[in-house]
Amino acid sequence: MATSETSPFESREMLATFLSSTPLLSNSWSLCTQANATPFRSFLADRVAGVVYVAFSGVHMAGESDSNWRNLTALDSIGGVPLFSSRRTKEGEEPVMVHTGMLNLFSSLFNSFQNQILEIVGSKDTKSVVITGHSIGGATASLCTLWLLSYLQSISSSVPILCITYGAPLLGNESFSQAIFKERWGGNFCHVVSKHDIMPRLLFAPITPLTTQISSLLQFWHFSMTSPDFGKIAVQISDKEKAKLFTAVMDYLEAATQDVETSVPNLFHPFGNYFFVSEEGAVCVDSPSAIVKMMHLMLAASSPTSSIEDHLKYGDYVNKMSSQILNQRNSMQKNIPDSSYEAGLELAIQSSGIADQESTIISAKECLNSTRRMGPSPTQNAASLAVSLSKVVPYRAQIEWYKTWCDEQDDQMGYYDSFKSRGSSSSKRDMKVNINRCKLARFWDNVIGMLERGELPHDFDKRAKWVNTSHFYKLLVEPLDIAEYYGKGMDRSKGHYMQHGRERRYEIFDRWWKDKRVMTGEENKERSKFASLTQDSCFWARVEEARDWLNCVRREIDTNKLAQLWDKIENFEKYAMTLIKNKEVSSDVLAKNSSYSIWVKDLRELKQLKAKVQRFPHQFTGFLDGEVVP
C-alpha cells in the first residue's frame, strides 16, 4: 500500500530561493526595462549563452478603448494555431476566454514578431527561451508563450519555454486557467507580483472612469522610473482617488477570497505560478485560490499611495532578492522550528512581508497550508495505476475472446454487427462483454482525470506503456461503443456518432498516439495479413454515416445536394478501399453479412441503377422525381 506523502511547503520557498539565485530574474528584468524604453518596437531579444530572452514592451496599450476594460473574448486559437488540444468543453461549461483588449493588442503585434521568434526557437544555438514583459507587456508575453507552446507541441519540439511577467494584470477566466493546468503548462509561467502593486489586482475592481484613467496612466509610467515627467503624471491622481481605487480593489479581493457574490462578478482568474516579492523576500504559490488570498493579504498591508507607485519598483526587488533570502536563512538559525515543513512555512510568512502583522499571520498560514498536497505523489500514483491496469486486463482479454468468437460464427456478421444486433434478449456472453466495456471506460476516465488534476507525472502521456495500452483499448472497445450508439438508435435523437457521440477519452488517446508517432518517426509498416483490429477505431461510425448517405441519395431530388452526397460516398469508398488494400482492417470488416459488406452491395446496385438512368432517362422519370426506391 502506498504511503501518504505530504508536499512540504518548503518546496515553494526553495523554488523562490532557487529562482532568485539564477540570472533569470535579473536578465529578464533588464531586458524589460529596455523594451519599455523603446515603445515603438513590439519586442526586444537578447541571447545570453544558450538562453534567448524576448521582452515585450508594456506601453502599447495606452490608447485602448474603455469599452474593453472588462470584456472577454473566446480563445480557440492564437495565430492560427489551435490551443488546448487535450481539452473538450463539456456541456454547460464556460468556454476559454481572455481579456479582449489584451488579445487585440497581441493580435495587432503578432505579424511583426511571429517569424522572428520562430527563427529564434529553430536556431541550433538556442537551448531555451525566456519570454518576459512588464505590466501590459507581461500579458502580451503570456499570450505569446501560449502560442509558442501550442506550436512547439504540434511539431513535437522539446525547446524549453519559460514566461516571466512583472506586475502583469489578470488575463483570462476560470476555464482559461483550468485549460492551462490540464495542458500541464502551468509550470511554464512565473508571474512576479510585488507586495503592494495594484496592477495585477486591478481587474478585481468594477468599471469606473477612475480605474480606466489609472490603468492608462500606469502604462505611460513604463518609459522610465527616473523620467522627469513621472512626478507630473503621478500628481494627476489625487490621494482621495488613490484611496477610493484601493478600497474598491480590496473589497472585491476580499469578496473573491470568501466566494461572496457582488454586483460585479469575478471574471478573471490567475494561472501558473505566482512569485510574490516584498522587501523581506519572495515566495511561490501555484494554487489559484491561494494566489487570490495572498494577493488580498499582502495588499492589505499596503497604503493607497504605495499600491500604485510599487508598480515601478520591480528592479529594486530583483536586485535585492538574493541578499534578502540569505538574511532570512541566517535569522532562522536562531529559532529553528520542529519540522522542515514548519521551517518552510515560517520562511514563507517572512518572505511575504506580513510576518509583523499578527492579525494576518493566521490567515496567511491557513492559506499556505491549503496548498499542501496530501496523499501519494504522482510517481506513487503511476505505480498504483500500473497495478490497477493489471486488474482490468482480464476484462480486455474477455472482449478479445468475444471478438474471435463473433468472427467465427456461421452468420458471418462479425464483431461489430453481432454486438450491435444483440437486442434486449442478449445472452450472458453479450451482457458480460457490455459490463466489461463499462468497467474499462471507468478505468480510463479515471486515468485521464488523474492526469488532468496533476496527480500523475508530467510525462505520463508520453510513456510508451500507457500510450500503447490506451491505443489498443481504443481499437478494441470503441467499435463496441459505436455499435451500442447505433444499436440503440441514439443517432436518430442526437446525430451521428463522430459529431455527437464520441467520448472525450478517445480524442485524447488519438492525440497521445499521434504525438508518439511524430516523436519516434514511426510510419505504417506494410502488412502481409489483415490486422487483428481495424486501425481506424471510428471505421464503423464512418460506415453508418455512409449508409445514411445512400438512403439520402434514394430520396433526394435536388441535383446539387445529390452531387454532394455522391462526393461523400465516393470519398468514403476510396478511403475504405485504401484501408483494405493496406490490410489495416480486421477480417470482420469483410465478413459476408457485415454492415460494410452490405453497404458495398447496396452501393453497387445503386450505381448500376444510376448508370441505367443516365443511359435511358426517359424510362426512369419516376426515379428522377424521387418516387422510385429500389
Residues acting as catalytic residues: 135, 197, 311
Three cell numbers, residue 478: 470503441
Residue 568 exposure: Cα atoms within 13 Å on the Cβ side: 18
Q: Alpha helix (H) ranges present in 270-425? A: 288-300, 304-309, 314-332, 340-352, 358-369, 378-407, 414-420
224 near 40, Cβ under 8 Å? Answer: no
Residue 307 exposure: Cα atoms within 13 Å on the Cβ side: 29
β-bridge partners, 166:
134, 192
Identity of the residue numbered 176? F
84 near 184, Cβ under 8 Å? Answer: no
* Residue-wise burial string across 197-230, b where 16 or more C-beta atoms lie within 10 A, e elsewhere: bbbbbbbbbeeeeebbebbeebbebbbeeeeeeb
Report the SS3 class of residue 455.
Answer: coil
DSSP for 71-111, written as a single string: -EEE-SEETTEE--TT--PPTTPPPPEEEHHHHHHHHHHHH
Spatial CB neighbours of 415, under 8 Å, sequence gap ≥ 6: 402, 403, 406, 407, 479, 586, 588
CA dihedral of 427, 428, 433, 434, whole degrees rounded to 10: 80
Q: With residue 438 as reference, give the H or E element that holds it.
A: helix 428-452
